[in-house]
Amino acid sequence: MTAAPTHLKLQPEFYLLVFLVSIGFFMQGLDTTIINTALPAMATSLQEDPLKMHGVVISYVLAVAACIPLSGWFSDRFGVRNTFFAAIVIFTTASIGCALSNSFNTLIIFRVLQGIGGAFLLPVGRLAMLRIIPREQFLSAMSTMSLAGLLGPLAGPILGGWLVEYASWHWIFLINVPIGLLGMLVTFKAMPNVTEASVKSFDLSGFVLLAIAMIGMALGIENIASTEVSKSLSIGLLISGFIAALIYAYHAHTHQNALFRSRLFKNKIYSIGVLGNFFARFGSNAVPFLLPLMLQVAFNMEPFMTGVMLTPIVIGSLVSKPIIRPILQRTGYRSILIVNTLLIGLCIASFALHTADTPTWLRTLHFFVFGVINSLQFVAMNTFTLKDLPQQDASSGNSFLSMIMMLSMSIGIAVAGTLLNTFTNYFNQAHITQAFHYTLICLGLMNIVTMIIFLQIPKDFKD
């Protein structure tokens, strides 16, 4: 296999573009971390069970996953700048709608609309970097973007806890408004409106099949243990999702204008990376949803203190950024992905050792370690997956990866919610801590099994 070009430092001419993409990442990261801390308070305000509030998170993530296939075609047809600008407008407007919601169903509707805007933010921004920034500077650009974007998750837990405890949960959405306005102003200066010379007609039938597949699988898993939805309906949703996915696999192989042609998966590195991203994110993406609930519902911690306790995870992510590139260059993708996947699984399972009496210093250290290895995993997986894609497949390959990442998050949270409700029903509310512990152990074991995927990376693969 031909060695990839040496990784070079990002040049100053691309700083503003990376900053703009980071704004989109910032908005998504801030929204995610703030809402996780605020879920119990939102449940009380909307008269819902806090253990069933995962629908607020899944509705957003699933809307993102379902609409991501549109991002590549819209970017090619209307240009990356115009598409990115529209995404910021939709996301910001929907955030206002979420803040004004006075019922659970209304909030879900605006979360879906917010997800539609969010579906374009990060994939279109990453696509702009792929097309504009030279490949040898791409790893540096990704690391820089992730570093700047993590400022959102860093502020999110504390800011969310503070707003919930001293103001109102509605403000966790209004915080997106000034950030969105800044993004709108910067877009036309930082991002050229790169388009494709010729764009094929949109694959509407393929888009519908993908949407049915993702919605069916995610909602089927989410409701399988619910007492409010029949088992037959949940199983029917799961079966419909799998059937739609199989039909789309055939469609991708035979349809000339398929959103994601089957040729993408002839690239072995890309295929391994996509599978790894899908399964390795189940546990990692469920942890930010589970830990705030465990701290508040099981351990009776106040929202602000919960936000403070979650901050070490993001600090760990920030600390890891400068060392990711040297580690990858020294060890290679294969070694780091195999070992790190195992470590993350063990770390998630070991969260089950936490109780209300766990010393603060130990809990802080544990969360920090998780942040470090989780950040290393995400950057390594994303860069590994995209690094060998030919230029003509960059748009569809990037969009498919983004879709898989968000679908994995929605399914991971759905699995976590299902496991939590199942164990809660088994142990009853008096032993809610045990329900959280068993859920975390199951998620950790899932992550460890994922290591098998990264064992398929060729031993002679070079960075």
Q: What is d(CA 461, CA 453) in angstroms, rounded to the nearest whole number?
A: 15
Segment among 120-124, 159-163, 389-393, 415-419 with least mean pLDDT: 389-393
- 60: which residues sit within 8 A by CB, 6+ positions away? 31, 111, 112, 114, 115, 118
pLDDT digits (tens, 9 = 90+) for 173-182: 988 898 888 8
Contact criterion met (CB below 8 Å) for 301 and 358: no
**Extents of the domains making up the chain:** 13-203+259-454, 204-258
Report domain 13-203+259-454's class: mainly alpha
Confidence at residue 444, expressed as pLDDT on a 0 to 100 scale:
95
pLDDT of res. 2 = 45
pLDDT digits (tens, 9 = 90+) for 57-114: 888 988 988 888 787 778 888 888 888 899 999 999 999 999 998 888 899 999 999 9
Distance CA 408, CA 283 (A): 9
pLDDT digits (tens, 9 = 90+) for 369-426: 999 999 899 888 988 888 777 777 776 787 788 888 888 988 999 899 889 988 988 8
Q: What is the Cα–Cα distance from 408 to 326, expressed in whole angstroms? A: 28
Q: Which residues contact 292 (CB under 8 A, 6 or more apart)?
A: 36, 37, 39, 40, 157, 306, 310
The Cα–Cα gap between 63 and 302 comes to: 31
Distance CA 58, CA 108 (A): 9
Residue 243 has pLDDT above 90, yes or no: yes
| Mean residue pLDDT across the chain | 84
Q: What pTM was estimated for this model as a whole?
A: 0.83
Does the pLDDT of residue 279 top 70, yes or no? Answer: yes
Q: Under a CB-based contact definition with an 8 Å cutoff, are residues 283 and 348 in contact?
A: yes
Q: How far apart are CA 141 and CA 172, in angstroms?
A: 29
What sign results for the dihedral spanned by CA atoms 311, 381, 118, 233?
A: negative
Confidence of residue 259 (pLDDT cuts 50, 70, 90): confident
Instruction: Write down the pLDDT at residue 254.
Output: 84
For residues 401 and 101, what is the distance between their CA atoms, to the nearest angstrom? 32
Tens digits of residue pLDDT in 290-305: 999 999 989 999 888 9
DSSP state of 169: T
Sorting pLDDT into bands at 50, 70 and 90, what band is 368?
Answer: very high
Long-range Cβ contact pairs of 96-100 (< 8 A, separation 24 or more): 96/173, 96/174, 96/177, 98/173, 99/170, 99/171, 99/172, 99/173, 99/174, 100/170
For the segment 216-225, the average pLDDT, to the nearest whole number, is 84
More confident site: 193 or 364: 364
- Return the higher-pLDDT residue of 319 and 366: 366
pLDDT in tens, 248-258: 988 888 887 77
Q: Tens digits of per-residue pLDDT, 7-56? A: 566 666 677 787 788 888 777 777 777 888 888 888 888 888 887 788 88
User: Average pLDDT in the 168-173 region?
Assistant: 88
